[in-house]
Amino acid sequence: MRIAFLAAPEGVEQVELTSPWEAVTSTGETPQLVSTQPGSIQAFNHLDNGDTFPVDRTVDDVTAEDFDALVLPGGVANPDFLRLDPRAVAFAKGFFDAGKPVAAICHAPWTLVEADVVRGRTMTSWPSLRTDLTNAGATWVDEPVQVCDAGPNTLVTSRKPDDLKFFNEALLTAFGSRAAS
C-alpha cells in the first residue's frame, strides 16, 4: 500500500508525522513524504525546531491516483500553509474524489475545510478548529479519534499528539493495513 504524507516545507508537528509514519511502515506499507517544494521539510516540536525530513515527491509530480491513502499531520503552521496552496488543496481533495481513505490529526483538518470535503461528516480536531469545522458543515466531537464513513471514503480524525495511539490504530484499520487484520 502506498501512503502519502502531505506536509508543508515548514511547520509540521514532528510526532504527528513520525508516529503514523512508523505505524504504517511497521505493517509493511510504503509511505512517501509529499510537499509543495522539493528538498526537505522542517518539523517542529511544538514551537521549537525539530528534525528535517527529505521530501520524496512534490504535489506538482503526483496525484491521488499515485497513492492508496493520505495522512495529514498537524501542527499549527503546517495546514495553514497547505490551505493557502491550491496545489496542496487539490491533492488532498483528490483522495476524496477517488474515494480513498484519509487521516488528519490536530490542526490538519484546516486543509480539508479549504478542500470543501467536510460537510456532513462527524470529525474531531484540536479544539480551536471546532468553529471552522462546524461552519464548513461538519459535526465536531471532542473524542480521541473519530472514524467517519459518510461520503465516498473513510475519514479518520484525531485531536492531538496525546491521541496518537488511537489515531494510528484507526488509520491502520481504515487503510486496510496488513497489521490491522
The predicted model scores a pTM of 0.96
| CA 140 centroid distance within chain | 17
Q: How many CB atoms sit inside 10 A of residue 119's CB?
A: 12
pLDDT band at 178 (very low <50, low <70, confident <90, very high): very low
Find out whether 15 and 161 touch, Cβ atoms under 8 Å.
yes
Radius of gyration of the chain (CA): 14
pLDDT score for 181: 38
Find out whether 53 and 5 touch, Cβ atoms under 8 Å.
no
Q: If you ran DSSP here, which 8-state letter would residue 138 be given?
A: P
Cell of 76: 499549527
Averaged pLDDT for residues 121-142 = 98
| Residue range 67-122, pLDDT digits in tens | 999 999 999 999 999 999 999 999 999 999 999 999 999 999 999 999 999 999 99
Positions annotated as catalytic residues are 106-107
Find out whether 21 and 1 touch, Cβ atoms under 8 Å.
no
| Residue range 31-79, pLDDT digits in tens | 999 999 999 999 999 889 999 999 999 999 999 999 999 999 999 999 9
| CA 139 centroid distance within chain | 18
3-state secondary structure (DSSP) of residue 140:
strand
SS3 content of the chain, % helix, strand, coil (to 5): 35, 30, 35
Domain 2-180 has CATH 3.40.50.880: yes
* Partners of 2 in beta bridges: 30
* Partners of 32 in beta bridges: 4
> What are the residue boundaries of the structural domains of the chain, listed by start?
2-180
